[in-house]
Amino acid sequence: MLALIGKLLLFALDICFWIIIIQVVMSWLIAFGVLNTNNEQARNLIGLFQRLTDPVYKPLRKYIPAIAGIDITPIIIIIGISIAKNAVAYVFFSSM
């Protein structure tokens, strides 16, 4: 039973990781003009990922300023996810 809970937590953390990666790549595509924000479908997709990531980003952005215009908040979140995944793996799978 504990292994199932551990696997579900790891899966949820993986989903969070990939949501952040996709949002970062989309922001690069917008910055380089590859993704057109005038397209309604693109705007909806961008809005979806912003709604998914903003609750995590906004509190951190209050304390972590952009460095040379680059937002490092996603990097810090990814490091936090990696630490959380290691902790979940240790707690749920170290005794097996």
pLDDT digits (tens, 9 = 90+) for 3-51: 899 999 999 999 999 999 999 999 999 999 898 889 999 999 999 999 9
pLDDT digits (tens, 9 = 90+) for 57-76: 999 989 988 888 889 999 99
**CB contact set of 46 (below 8 Å; sequence gap of 6+):** 26, 30, 35, 37
pLDDT band at 96 (very low <50, low <70, confident <90, very high): low
Opening angle at CA 54, ends 19 and 36, nearest 5 = 70
Q: Which of 49, 48, 57 is nearest to 78 (CA)?
A: 57
Query: Model's pTM, two decimal places?
Result: 0.88
